Amino acid sequence: MFRPEIKVVDCTIRDGGLANDSKFTLDTVRAVYQAICASGVDYVELGYRNSKKMFSPADFGPWRFCDEEMLRKVTDGIDSGETKVAVMQDAHKAVAEDILPADESVVDMIRVATYVKDVDKAIHLAQNATAKGYECTINIMAISIEGAPFLDEALQQLEEETDAKAVYVVDSFGALYSEEIQFLVEKYQKYIKTKEVGVHAHNNQQLAFANTIEGIIRGANFLDGTLYGLGRSAGNCPLELLLGFLKNPKFNIVPVLDVIAKVILPLRNEIDWGYHIPYMLTGILNQHPLAGMKWMDSPRKDDIVAFYNEITEDPE
């Protein structure tokens, strides 16, 4: 039986943009947008709204900034159905002034990503977004290395000081197991009384889908996925698996399968995401995948013992 409270967010372009510096073509983004809308998924996240003072447009594609003009080029002429548009702001890489009033934008929801140490910045951006008429979520990144009491205090602040719809458990390193997802969702629920709990999982240990299911079992109602798992390094919970599991009759998996076949699979010629040993190793060691990404871009990418030795070597 499906749970009608559940909301699904497709993050293909936003999280996948971390693997190619947000340099998707307009045709690719339009195809993903059209497919997600046709599938009945609740939200489609089209990239970041981060500051051009902190990122150079010369180094990144348009989906790192999601200017309104570009978003309108994506959405114009496509029936969105019930699907809403989301963009993400990093608490430490964005400014409130980059958000227009909601009635001047095609965006419906601002997702604020933050580390616990930046929670006050996240609250500022979240309240700016809701004051301007947007829905909002707050995604606490790198949760596998965040511990009490700072996490507890941050959760209490987010409950008391924001009007966000959901606060997310984000397994940025793909390091968590189901028992830890259970623990964290239940911890969030102790503090988050007027908001939903969300889960955003990475697939370094091939557990993103399983951990998302665990979140669902424990009452998380905001769920992230990407087409064919496209995302940074090992990628994310595959959206098509998630839709199949949820059994909600409002979802139509056929447009998802179609866009995967025609648009996402060909991207494998340009972006090497998914299960690779370097990403698995950073996951089991609870480390940021950046080292694995650099290794995968080097001539030594298949020398996985050397990589293991490098990331486990004790610094002198």
Are both 123 and 37 inside the same structural domain?
Answer: yes
pLDDT at 312 over 70: yes
252 token code pair:
């139509």
Are both 258 and 301 inside the same structural domain?
Answer: no
pLDDT at 316 over 80: no
Q: What angle do CA 167, 168, 173 make, to 5 degrees?
A: 155
* Cα–Cα distance list, 145 to 8, 97, 171, 237, 286 (Å): 26, 31, 9, 20, 8
pLDDT at 177 over 90: yes
pLDDT at position 2 is: 86
Structural domain harbouring 283: 277-312
Are both 303 and 189 inside the same structural domain?
Answer: no
Distance of CA 184 to the CA centre of its chain: 18
User: Quick one: pLDDT band at residue 315, thresholds 50, 70, 90?
Assistant: low
Strands (E) across 158-299 are located at 166-171, 196-201, 222-225
Are both 137 and 30 inside the same structural domain?
Answer: yes
For the beta carbon of residue 81, count every other beta carbon within 10 angstroms. 14
Average pLDDT over residues 153-157: 98
pLDDT tens, position by position, 248-303: 999 999 999 999 999 999 999 999 999 999 999 999 999 999 999 999 999 999 99
In a domain, 262, yes or no: yes
Are both 87 and 215 inside the same structural domain?
Answer: yes
Evaluate whether 47 touches 93 at the Cβ level (below 8 Å).
no
136 token code pair:
């909002």
Domain count, the chain: 2
pLDDT tens, position by position, 201-241: 999 999 999 999 999 999 999 999 999 999 999 999 999 99
230 token code pair:
């496209």
pLDDT at position 160 is: 98
Rounded to two decimals, the pTM is 0.97
144 vs 17: CA distance, rounded Å: 23
